[in-house]
Structure formats: C-alpha cells, structure tokens
Amino acid sequence: MKKIEYAHVGETLFLEQLPNGLRVLLWPKKDFYKTYALFTTNFGSIDNEFIPVGENEKVHFPDGIAHFLEHKLFEKEDGDVFQKFEKLGSFSNANTGFTRTSYLFSTTSKVEKNLEMLMDFVQEPYFTEELIDKEQGIIAQEMQMYQDEPDWRLFLGLLENLYPNNVLSCDIVGTRKSISKITAEMLYQNFYRFYHPSNMTLVVGGRFDADEIMRVIKENQAKKKFSEISLAQKTFSFKNDEPIIEIRSIKMNIVYPKFILGLKGRDEIPKNGAELLQYRFSLKLYLQMLFGPTSQNFLQLYTKGLVDDSFSYAFTLDRGFHLIEINGDADDPQKVTDFLQEKLKNYQQQNDFNEETFELLKRKMISKFIQSLNSIETVVNQLSCGSFSGEDTVFLETDLLLRDLSFAKFQKFVQQFMDNAVLSCFYIYPKESSE
C-alpha cells in the first residue's frame, strides 16, 4: 500500500491496485465521526455499444441500460439492499451518469460491515425477468419526473443541439420504448463487461484505520473469482467535427422563459493528470472572470433586469467530451444570449479579463479548496471522479497547481478552447407565450 503525504495541507492518502485490478484509495480522517465510501465503475449511459465478454460481435444495447442495471443491483433474492444498510444505521444510495455509475454508503459506526456489504451487493448480480418487468414500471415513473423538470430538459436540450447524432444526447434513464427491450441476459452482459474490478475504483474517507480497512477490502476481494479480461472496452466515439443544431426551442408549463447557451469543446485536452486539472481550473476561472457575480458583464445584465438569481454557468469535462454552459431565467432570453455571445466572442477585450482579476479569483479558488477538505463527501467524490483520468492523486495538490498556473498558461488554455469551440442556444418558453 502506497502512502502519499500532502504536507502542505496536512493530508495523507493511501493507494493500492489489487491483484484483480481494483484501484483503492483511502483517506483516513481521525477527527471526523463519519465514514463515506464510493464504489464506482467506469461505465455510464454512453457505453451502450460493445462486444460482450466471450463474444466476437459488437452489440448495441437499449438506451438507459446502465441506469436500469444500477437499480436492479439493489434488489437481491433475499431482500432489498437499502433495508440492510438501514438496519446498520447507515445511509446508502447510487447514481448513474454519462460515464460512471457509483454506489455509496455513509455511516458513523460498523464501517467494516458496511464496506463488505457495499462490495458484495455491487459485485454479486441477481437479475430475473420478473424483477425486470416490475422495475420497468418504476423507472417509467422516474422518466416522467425528469420530463417534467424544466432545468433537466434545458440541459438535455443543449446536449441534443451539440451532439444531435450521438448517444450523449439521449436521456440517461432512456425512454419507455428502450427500457421495455431490456432483458436479464442484457443486464448480465453489461455487468460482466463493465463491473470487472479492473474497471472500478473504491474510495473510502473518514474515521478508520487505513491498514485495517485495506485488510478488509483485500480479504473480501480475494474470496471472489472474476473472469480474465482486460480493462473494459470503451466504444463511445466522440466526433468533434459533426454538425450541431445552432438554435432550438420548446414549450413547457413554466412561468418564465429559460435559456441555455453552450460551447462544445473540440480542442485536444491534456493527457497528464496535473495539467488536465489546471485545464479544468482555467476554464472555470474564465467563466468566473466573464460572468461571475462581481464581473461587469453580470452586473450589467442584473441591473438591467435581464437576468435574476437563477443565472449560472458551468464547465463540464468528462470522458470523451467537454463543454461550457450558461443558463437561467429571462423575460427576453434571446437578448441575453446575444449579449453572452458577444462577450464570449470578444473575451480578450473584456475589462475583467486581466491578470489582476485572474490572481484574485485564483486565491478565492484556493480558499474554497482548503475549505472543501472539511467535507468528506466532497473529497471522496473528487478522488473517485479523478481516478479514471489520472487526477485523483493530484487533487489534494489543487492549491499548489493553482499557484503554479500562470496567466500566460491560463490564456493558452482558454484560447485553445475558444478557437475550436462551436456554440448553440436552446430555449424553453411558457406554453401560453409566443416566441
């Protein structure tokens, strides 16, 4: 077990790659009462076309199968896993995204029992056609909830614009039609391809002894047999040169119109973990400089009543894709997006785009990072997300990497992104209004 000391922030991380390929990261915190664990597979909604284990031909699986599989792993022959965690006085949950599926627990006691239960239920599948039929109705209700959520429809609408012929534009939960095609055999095929330990990471943070917890993990994994396969195959193809839909709108039962502007990144991102983290920082700092709460652009929009407190922005970088999004409510959404486009196009001429603002925002970002070390969930989530991109062990060096990020390098990253990006807008209007 490798011990990594981060003396500048007083943190220690333990890392080990087990013989079966599982990557384990432990972040012990003696002064905390809670322990939080995240068991993640590098498999999400976009991974729906691959060659199943033991076969030779590529198979296309129904949209939403990764999310469906996540639901079914909680249901075993001897009962519901949620209830088992509740009996231990613990909280458990799971989440499926575009590229990852995570299972978690949070507890203040019986850490070892919780950890063994987490590993066992995730690694021991039990799928039957009867249980699948039941789950299809449950997930159909979840779909309707998402369809009625304007903010989710807004984001999904942007993805449909930026990636119109791509699985990325499909809803993570799938459609009623797609999930009706899911069978137990399909779930097993997806499980054995992507839930292999070599495609997974286990991160535990909180109050525990690292040696003891690593012993529990090793003994648990040593008892299990896994097929001899290489790292799970990723077949998601990201074609940056495909045409996008530049503008589109829909109507929903909402009070105020909504807008979202997106920039699809088409540049080559860094491969090195530390540099990739600096690339993330740079694009986030860029958005703060242009549209943060103290920026002249935001103040101009806000004082004129063009936007309200719903205004927000984000930079997303995941396996195979990265993008900027800016969204909010507005009486005249097209006027707002016209303003945003003009500022983005001429970003180098903006008053806030300067080295002084850059250094100020860097210091604020460093301060937030230091504060985040008091949140077990935040750190464990970041370590887990970074474990598939090489950013996990450098995450606790965030403050050092930010201090090392020069204004010149920041400008290079921003220009690299902006020179290659393509832009799209999506709007949602109230049903009773005209566009």
Pick the CATH number of 2-222 from 3.40.50.920, 3.30.830.10, 3.40.309.10, 3.10.20.30: 3.30.830.10
Query: Is 70 among the residues known to form the active site?
Result: yes
- In this predicted model, what pLDDT tens digit does every residue of 17-68 receive, in sequence order? 999 999 999 999 999 999 999 999 999 999 999 999 888 899 999 999 999 9
Residue 145 pLDDT > 80, yes or no?
Answer: no
135 vs 13, higher pLDDT: 13
pLDDT score at 237: 57
Please, what is the average pLDDT of the chain? Answer: 93
> Computed from CA positions of residues 142, 143, 148, 149, in that sequence, does the dihedral angle turn out positive or negative?
positive
Of the chain, the percentage scoring pLDDT greater than 70 comes to: 96
pLDDT band, residue 239 (cuts 50/70/90): low
pLDDT band, residue 238 (cuts 50/70/90): low
Residue 144 pLDDT > 90, yes or no?
Answer: no
- Every domain of the chain and the residues it spans: 2-222, 247-430
Residue 143 pLDDT > 90, yes or no?
Answer: no
Residue 115 pLDDT > 50, yes or no?
Answer: yes
The CATH topology of domain 247-430 is Cytochrome Bc1 Complex; Chain A, domain 1 (3.30.830)
- Give the residues across from 169 on adjacent strands: none
Structure tokens belonging to residue 352: 């806030």
pLDDT band, residue 132 (cuts 50/70/90): confident
pLDDT score at 240: 67
Of the chain, the percentage scoring pLDDT greater than 90 comes to: 86
Structure tokens belonging to residue 30: 């003696």
Per-residue pLDDT, averaged over 235-258, amounts to: 85
Structure tokens belonging to residue 47: 């991974």
Residue 323 pLDDT > 80, yes or no?
Answer: yes
pLDDT score at 257: 97
Query: How do strand 59-60 and strand 258-264 relate by DSSP bridges?
Result: unpaired
Nearest to 16 by CA among 232, 282, 279, 197: 197
Per-residue pLDDT, averaged over 266-278, amounts to: 95
Residue 236 pLDDT > 60, yes or no?
Answer: no
Residue 434 pLDDT > 90, yes or no?
Answer: no
Residue 432 pLDDT > 80, yes or no?
Answer: no
Annotated active-site residue in 49, 55, 70, 212: 70
Residue 232 pLDDT > 50, yes or no?
Answer: no
pLDDT band, residue 314 (cuts 50/70/90): very high
Per-residue pLDDT, averaged over 103-119, amounts to: 97
Residue 318 pLDDT > 70, yes or no?
Answer: yes
Equal CATH topology for 2-222 and 247-430: yes
pLDDT score at 131: 80
